[in-house]
Amino acid sequence: MGEIFDATPPERISKVFLEEKLFKTWYYGRTVLIGDACHKMLPAAGVGAVNAMQDVVVLANCLYSMNSSTQEDITALFQEYYKQRFHRAANEIERSKAMAKMIAGQTWLERVVRHVLLNYLPNWLQQQISTKNFEYRPQIAWLPLVPHRGLGRVLPQEGPRRPRPGFHLPQQSIAQTV
Ligand SMILES: Cc1cc2nc3c(=O)[nH]c(=O)nc-3n(C[C@H](O)[C@H](O)[C@H](O)COP(=O)(O)OP(=O)(O)OC[C@H]3O[C@@H](n4cnc5c(N)ncnc54)[C@H](O)[C@@H]3O)c2cc1C
């Protein structure tokens, strides 16, 4: 790392002020935040970009369902976006924090936990944890749902699902919510 630092021109170096941060305010007026701008998480769980993309899908769905471009309707759509996303991002921040401790924690307890989890956690339990972590999969409201080919549960899609005018969702896609 030292060699990389030495080889980096000073003008290309920037300081990261916050390693993680969950902001409570995500919108104001006609401005709305997505991704790290509103919920920056430690990279240990590898889900920061995943959550940014989930924000975008949910925000696009809310925009699609908007009745008019009045400030009232814009605020209502931002509220719906926030309602669907805030608690999930908050959970993911906590999960990332726990993963960071598990991977890199230096207290004796964290070392013991790391040793036990990495050496003795059975595969079936690892799979169950992964399945639980990946059951939330927001999808675009006006496109057919991606066929569910796995074994794990998929949470129902939130918000209305409505095809684009002249574009019909196959019936089984609309029904396929679990
Ligand atoms: C080491 C590391 C490993 C990671 N691994 C994973 C992983 O495996 N999986 C995962 O899902 N996530 C991972 N992440 C997290 C992921 O990189 C971020 O969550 C994701 O990039 C956030 O996307 P974003 O678009 O919100 O923000 P950014 O990717 O930070 O994009 C913001 C953009 O805005 C630009 N910008 C800033 N200020 C201005 C300005 N004033 N004017 C114009 N442009 C501006 C920036 O240059 C940048 O290009 C990792 C992060 C790190 C640090």
Q: Is the CB of 92 under 6 A from ligand 1?
A: no
Q: How far is CA 148 from the centre of its chain?
A: 19
Q: Is the CB of 35 under 6 A from ligand 1?
A: yes
Q: Is the CB of 44 under 6 A from ligand 1?
A: no
Q: What does the pLDDT read at residue 16?
A: 84
List phi, psi (to 5°) of 17.
-80, -35
Q: What does the pLDDT read at residue 46?
A: 95
Q: What does the pLDDT read at residue 170?
A: 56
- As to burial, measured by CB atoms within 10 angstroms (0-12 exposed, 13-18 middle, 19+ buried), residue 150 is exposed
Q: How far is CA 18 from the centre of its chain?
A: 19
From the CA of 47, give the closest atom in ligand 1: 11
Residues 91-108: pLDDT tens digits? 999 999 999 999 999 999
Q: Where along the chain do its domains lie?
A: 14-170
Structure-block tokens of residue 110: 């964290």
Q: What does the pLDDT read at residue 171?
A: 52
What's the rounded Cα separation, in Å, for the pair 84 and 93? 16
What's the rounded Cα separation, in Å, for the pair 45 and 20? 13
What pTM does this model have? Answer: 0.88
Q: How far is the CA of 36 from the centre of ligand 1 (A)?
A: 6
Q: Is the CB of 46 under 6 A from ligand 1?
A: yes
- Domain covering 14-170 in this structure, CATH number: 3.50.50
| Residue nearest ligand 1's atom 25 by CA | 35
* pLDDT tens, the chain, 178 aa long: 999 999 999 999 888 888 999 999 999 999 999 999 999 999 999 999 999 999 999 999 999 999 999 999 999 999 999 999 999 999 999 999 999 999 999 999 999 999 999 999 999 999 999 999 999 999 999 999 999 888 889 999 999 888 777 666 555 444 444 4
Question: In Å, how far are 64, 91, 95, 115, 138 from 122, measured between CA atoms?
Answer: 44, 24, 20, 13, 29
| Residue nearest ligand 1's atom 1 by CA | 43
